[in-house]
Amino acid sequence: MKFHRGVKQILSKYILESIQRKMMGTLLLVMMVPMLIFMLISTYISRGTVESSEISSNLSRMELSKSYLEEQFHSYNDLLFAELVDERLVPSITTENNISSTGAFNTQTYIKDKLFGLYNGDDDIISVTLISYEDDRLYQVENNDFFINHYFQTQIKNTEKTAIFDVNTSNHSFTFARNIFRFEDQKLVGKIEIQVSFSLIDHIATNLQSNGEEEILLLDKEGNTVYTLNSMKLRKNISEEILSSSMKANDTNYITKDNDYYFYQNLMGGQIQLVKLVPEEVMRVGAIYIGRTGIIILLISILLTILLSILVSNQVAKPIVSLSRKMDQVGENNFNVQIETRRTDEIGHLQRKYKEMITRIKDLIEKDYKREMENRDAQFLALQSQINPHFLFNTLQVISGMALKNKAKDIYEMTQKLAFMFRYITDKRGDLVRMKEEVNHLNNYLYIQKVRFGENLSIQLFVDGAVKEGLIPLLTLQPIIENSFKHGFESKLEKAELKIDIQMVFDEIEIAIIDNGVGMSEQILAEVREKLIFDTDTQHRSIGLRNVNNRIKLYFGKEYGIEIDSEQSDFTKVIVRIPYRNGSELSEHFINRR
């Protein structure tokens, strides 16, 4: 009795007194009944022959694919065997010491035609090679080119008379080779070999793949992936497990791992394995039919829910629909809607709160509108106070003209250099500029600093002529060198020395900037280096360096950028490495064309 009363109290307090919970309970009841039926049916149907039939089907298809693939592989062996019975092949690769120049040319022409015949006989053949052991020559056709090279015998010759099959993991191909023996004395005189891409099985793999989520692969005898249809590689532990299973007697030719199925077949005496990965969801295709049944049940449930909603709409849903329409009107910026608030249940509470919310929204809109108008006025005043960079450039030009007119050559030179710097910075250009433009800008900057420091500053600038057309991010050099003046020379009493060396090193541009400034302590140097690597905050000379370093890595890759070394009271050295990219070869999107 106590339990019964406790349940009744809970139902009365949390369900019966709330119209929202009453509707929720009723609708959930209608939905849960068919869902329970669906779960029972799906559980029953899932048990059965779906999995076994799929396994049997995949095993049969794998066996057929194995037979066809081995037939394809052996067809290349037949091609080589056909060449061994060519009566002119053996004489053509024996020593040519006693053959005339014309005869040697005809022999090479015959070998060339023979190899090209094999090479062009199949689109999947990568190369054809003929080796002569007597005259140590290697004849090869590859990429539609014919090569003759000296052959260095670095290993003991294989004297087998059968075909030699090998897998090349590095370029996803395999080779068939046959030794060539002289008819008269059966002496080993050479070898002929063809290299074939595993792409020859593309159409077989496509036919074997019955679903887009399945994967087709070939593994070598070490478990490495040598071919994949969808650029997928097996994990090492799975590859090893497949190889281990393939060596067992009475093998089932499939394993399961992480609920996925791996079907396999040994090819070419176990030197390669054909593997098909079938995900669990693909294997249990019967779930599709279960899903259709579930959809039907869900549709019935939805229909029952609609009918139930119609029955209770007069008591519950009607005020909600009315409130929804009021919300639509508010959504169209009509804040003068009339909302009834006479109800005392949850819907009445919702109506009252929504009316209060509309009132607050109206107040907020009025306040935001006033604030926006004030912001616009402030922005207009700020725009009025901005200085146009081109106006500043033109003004500097006028000042330099006045200085020249009054024979103040130093002032003229200074304003000219400053004007050119402003033009370089403010001109619209691409992200990358030619090195010679960056160096011209740097010369203008160094001129101003030279005038500033006078005889207390020595500058050495060397630019390798080979780098002038190379590309560099805009404003790379000035921020780095500006650090030397800002941090290195400001408190230095003796003569300041700055050395800038820009030269080509192999296929890269290396920029070395060395100053004899105050340098950095080991702690500060470590902080700056950490900033360049991990982009962490620091108070020392790295804001400009970090910006330049990040831009270099963005444009050219993470292997390029800035290196820095320093000793306190001695020197600071900054090395910038970027790849050489010729500016004349890039589009207008990347460089400035003026």
Number of domains the chain is built from: 2
Q: How many C-beta neighbours within 10 Å does residue 380 have? A: 9
List the CATH number of the domain containing 191.
3.30.450.20
* Side-by-side strand order, sheet with 215-220: 225-228, 215-220, 272-278, 260-267, 254-257
pTM over the 0.85 mark: no
Six-digit token string for 429: 């250009």
Residue 453 lies in a domain: yes
What does the pLDDT read at residue 84? 78
Using the 3D structure, point to which of 243, 264, 284 is the last residue of a domain: 284
What distance in Å separates the CA atoms of residue 391 and residue 413, rounded to the nearest whole number?
19
3 state DSSP class of 86: coil
Residue 455 lies in a domain: yes
What does the pLDDT read at residue 56? 84
What distance in Å separates the CA atoms of residue 136 and residue 54, rounded to the nearest whole number?
56
Residue 410 lies in a domain: no
Residue 228 lies in a domain: yes
3-state secondary structure 579-593: ECCEHHHCCCCCCCC
What does the pLDDT read at residue 471? 93
Alpha carbon 104 to its chain centroid, in Å, reads 53
What does the pLDDT read at residue 387? 40
Residue 28 lies in a domain: no
Residue 374 lies in a domain: no
Residue 199 lies in a domain: yes
Residue 115 lies in a domain: yes
Instruction: Quote the radius of gyration of the chain (alpha carbons, Å).
Output: 41
What does the pLDDT read at residue 251? 62
What does the pLDDT read at residue 390? 46
Q: pLDDT averaged over consecutive 10-residue blocks of the chain (594 residues)? A: 59 54 66 69 62 81 87 84 77 62 77 86 88 85 88 70 82 86 81 88 84 83 82 77 71 80 85 85 66 70 68 65 70 70 71 76 72 51 42 57 66 76 69 89 86 86 93 89 82 83 94 92 89 61 73 87 91 94 60 42
**Residues spanned by the domain of 242:** 58-284
Using the 3D structure, point to which of 284, 315, 333 is the last residue of a domain: 284
What does the pLDDT read at residue 222? 82
Using the 3D structure, point to which of 242, 260, 284 is the last residue of a domain: 284
List the CATH number of the domain containing 485.
3.30.565.10
